[in-house]
Amino acid sequence: MLTKFLDFFGWARANSPWMVHYCSGCCSLEILALMGPRFDWERYGFMPVPSPRQADFIVITGLISRKVLPVLLMTYDQMPKPRYVFAIGSCAFDGGPYYDSTSVVTNVPEILPPDVFVAGCPPTPEAILEGLLEMKKIIREKREARAEREGTWKEILKQELEKNPLLSQQPFFVGG
Amino acid sequence: MFKMFLFSLKNLFSKPATLPEGTEKPKQYRGLIKYYEETCIYCKKCEMVCPPGAIIFTYPEDGSKRLIFHYNPYLCIYCGECVRACPKPGTLVQVEDTAPPATAQDKPNDLWFEVEKEAVESKKIWQEARRKKRNK
Amino acid sequence: MGKKFVVPFGSQHIAIPEPIRFIFTTENEIIKSVSVDFGYVHRGIEKACMTRYKYTQVPYVVARVCGLCAVSQATAYCMAIESLMDIEIPERAKYLRIIVHEMDRIHSHLFAIAHLSEAAGYENLFMRVMRDREFVMECLEILTGNRIQADYSTIGGVNRDLTKEVYEILKPRLDELERRLYELKEIFERDYTLQKKWKGIGVITLEMAQKYNAVGPVARASGLATDCRVEFEYLPYKELDYKMVLYQEGDVWARNMVRLDETLVSIRVLKNAIDNLPEGDIKVKVKGNPKGEALIRWEAPRGELLYYVKGNGKSVLERLRIKTPTFSVIPVMKELYYNQPYAFVPDITISFDPCLSCSAR
Amino acid sequence: MKNFEEIQVSLSELREAIKRFYKPEEWHFITINGTDVGDGIEIKYFFAAYGKSKKVKAFSLKIDYNQTIPSIRDIIPSAWIAEEELKDLLGVNVEGTKGGIFLEPDSPQAPLRKEVKNG
């Protein structure tokens, strides 16, 4: 009986995954195209929300630079569990064309491993939608997010905060 | 405001703009790279021109000339520069498919980092083998 | 004299599409001082183009500077190298470049309009503009093979030809888009809510635009006539009945209307270009390495784009400098916030159509 | 082929020259560009004429790595952004810049210098 009831939560979550819109690269345009009427992701229950506090998953759109990494990790830190990571674009994979640049984080999959990764430069909305449906399955089966299991993001965030204590004094910051 | 309201009313009764699931892609899409080994001359021009380094050749241990082609669809930016750089037309072809979404089980990045390491190491072994062959 | 509050805006914020950070000090909701930090997406493209990539590879890398104006970046770089190496490209390639470049402008402007209407709380209009934008996105995909990163221009010409079948698909779509855009213009001109929300907000006067060197639609909305398509003749815009759009008001509404009118002008140029496409090759072969220095000023969707290239006879450039349009409007944006109520900040910010991943490079 | 006019100035006359030349109604200040040429840094101030005149002018000067250049933001108020960039990416000392807009403190400073290697 109890397990059935818990299943209900997975089903409910999977049918209304909300996203925090975290844009850092040019792939975020295709996410906006998804919001439009032509690809219409709301028919599957996806929705952008303004605050990470309400979000179920975060989208890494393209590259992550060093300066933006603490912002990303803090945004992720503020999300309630269970939380999932969705990454699109070659830059999120290995830095893409900037793989030897000194100011781009090339090991994002180690720091914050995505649960679903969609390739492309940028991927088409159809491909992103396919990936999102894949993630719906993961939420449905209540698999643990990969970032919680094997990511090193907690240590990295701690290091970043030690390096730059001003970050933690932001009005909306709650450490975790 | 009234005009917009009229448009909205009209939209209620017109055909939806949303593409239904499983709509076919336009034919001209630039997608994955396909490799046909029969005509390859192993000049490695594609490896040199690729901006993100999504094409890597590893070297066989026995020192033969047939290099092994590796291609990472998740790193590729689909610019098509390798196809244009290829001196033998037909060896590399750009098709319309895209890479399927990768989940945690696939771990494409870990495998790829191994290939990158292997390319450096196997080159040394290959050169050694070549030298031995030549000395014979 | 009220109490002072410090309000951070960004770097992760729902109203702005990309990471930029403003720290406003407000007094009774009126902004008294601003500090701005914008280099969140710095990724060293210039350095990579100066150390690792050959000059023939660079067009594909600089296209990734920005998603919305990817075509402009690559085209501007190619034209800079062509003027440095004295390459004359075929007439057909010039027309094809105009076609793709104007399509890029249309989708970028429509995106900005949609985003601005969403910030005004007009979700219905956002959906409508995004729906119209898909017409041109599909045209781009059919013509170039990708919706955003076209990778169309290359040094010495373009990569793909416009075939007969593509022409058959493009033509009706553009007609349909034009009809819908005229409807849209009527809405923007007449709508009561938008007039209330946008008219007289965030006014940039002509003197201010000149003093802070504004570019692109921001400058043209204030009556400052600056448009590189008119000033320089790299591509045959004159033959295609191109006219500059000028508004005098300088407020949020005028900036929006400049963008909307420019899309209409672009469609006219586009149709003329498609109909009068000359026959011939699309590419010339390029030999040798660049030597010397050249610059190009080019009109990207957001304004003036500067590419400065310096070569020293090797295959890797010695210097590549990209000055993107948003980089130039940040000073006037910062100045505009003074003595404005905090509630106007999202509207003013988005009316500039900021692209920070451009300006940080 | 060079397609712009270049005027050589020295470090001491730079401010005076720009002050005499620049009129906001006629000239559009584009940007400042710095190039590491091996034995110093070449700095160019680009201006373009409004209207149909197709003119681009550049004031250029060459400085040593540790020389300080004067700020021009009281003449051209929008120049601060380009000066901050010079300071961050090329390590040029410009009066009145604070730095740190583009780079993190722990990443290599002045990445556009020739001695800084990528990767």
CATH code of the domain covering residue A84: 3.40.50.12280
Q: Mean per-residue pLDDT for C210-216?
A: 85
Residues in chain C: 361
The confidence score (pLDDT) of residue C5 equals 78
Domain ranges, residue A40: 10-165
Q: Mean per-residue pLDDT for C302-317?
A: 84
CB contact under 8 Å between C131 and B17, yes or no, is yes
CB contact under 8 Å between A117 and B108, yes or no, is yes
Is A139's pLDDT higher than 60? yes
Q: Mean per-residue pLDDT for C293-321?
A: 84
| Residue C310, helix vs strand vs coil | strand
Q: A123 and A27 in contact (C-beta within 8 Å)?
A: yes
User: Which of C295, C296, C320, C336 has the most D C-beta neighbours within 10 Å, making it the best mutation to test the interface with D?
Assistant: C295
Residues of chain A in contact with residue D108, where contact means CB-CB under 8 angstroms, are: 102
Say how far apart CA A116 and CA B101 lie, in whole Å.
7
Q: C27 and C3 in contact (C-beta within 8 Å)?
A: yes
Residues of chain B in contact with residue A124, where contact means CB-CB under 8 angstroms, are: 25, 29, 98
Q: B89 and B106 in contact (C-beta within 8 Å)?
A: no
Give burial (CB, 10 Å; 0-12/13-18/19+) of C177.
Answer: buried
- Residue positions forming the annotated binding site of C: 46, 66, 69, 322, 355, 358
Residue carrying structure tokens 């604070």: D98
Is B105's pLDDT higher than 70? no
Q: Which residue has the higher pLDDT, C44 or C97?
A: C97
User: Which of A68, A103, A164 has the most D C-beta neighbours within 10 Å, making it the best mutation to test the interface with D?
Assistant: A103
Residue A176 lies in a domain: no
CA-based R_g, chain C, Å: 21
Q: What is the CATH code for D5-94?
A: 3.30.460.80
Say how far apart CA C341 and CA A118 lie, in whole Å.
42
Say how far apart CA A72 and CA C191 lie, in whole Å.
39
Q: Mean per-residue pLDDT for C74-81?
A: 87
The confidence score (pLDDT) of residue B108 equals 62
Size of interface A-C (CB pairs under 8 A): 112
B116 confidence band (pLDDT: 50, 70, 90): confident
Q: Mean per-residue pLDDT for C162-178?
A: 84
CB contact under 8 Å between C133 and A97, yes or no, is no
User: Which of B29, B95, B109 has the most A C-beta neighbours within 10 Å, making it the best mutation to test the interface with A?
Assistant: B109
Q: C304 and C72 in contact (C-beta within 8 Å)?
A: no
Is A169's pLDDT higher than 70? no
Q: How many domains does chain A have?
A: 1
Residue A24 lies in a domain: yes
Closest CA to C110 of C224, C2, C259: C259
- What residues contact residue C118 under an 8 Å CB cut-off, 6+ apart? C125, C126
CB contact under 8 Å between A103 and D104, yes or no, is yes
Residues of chain B in contact with residue C167, where contact means CB-CB under 8 angstroms, are: none
> Which residues sit opposite C23 in a β-bridge?
C8, C35
Amino acid at D68: T
Q: What domains lie within chain C, and their CATH numbers?
A: 4-360 (1.10.645.10)
Structure tokens at D97: 């810049």
CATH topology (fold) of B25-99+106-135: Alpha-Beta Plaits (3.30.70)
Residues of chain C in contact with residue A32, where contact means CB-CB under 8 angstroms, are: 17, 111, 115, 130
Q: Mean per-residue pLDDT for C256-282?
A: 86
Residue A151 lies in a domain: yes
Say how far apart CA C118 and CA C309 lie, in whole Å.
39
Closest CA to D14 of D66, D60, D49, D82: D60
The confidence score (pLDDT) of residue B5 equals 78
Q: Identify the chains in contact with D, defined as 3+ C-beta pairs within 8 A.
A: A, C
A173 confidence band (pLDDT: 50, 70, 90): very low
Residues of chain B in contact with residue A118, where contact means CB-CB under 8 angstroms, are: 101-102
Interface residue ranges in chain A relative to chain D, Cβ cutoff 8 Å: 66-67, 99-103, 163-164
Interface residue ranges in chain D relative to chain A, Cβ cutoff 8 Å: 102-108, 111, 116, 118-119
- What residues contact residue C64 under an 8 Å CB cut-off, 6+ apart? A26, A91, A96, A97, A121, B77, C45, C70, C149
Closest CA to C46 of A60, B79, D34: D34
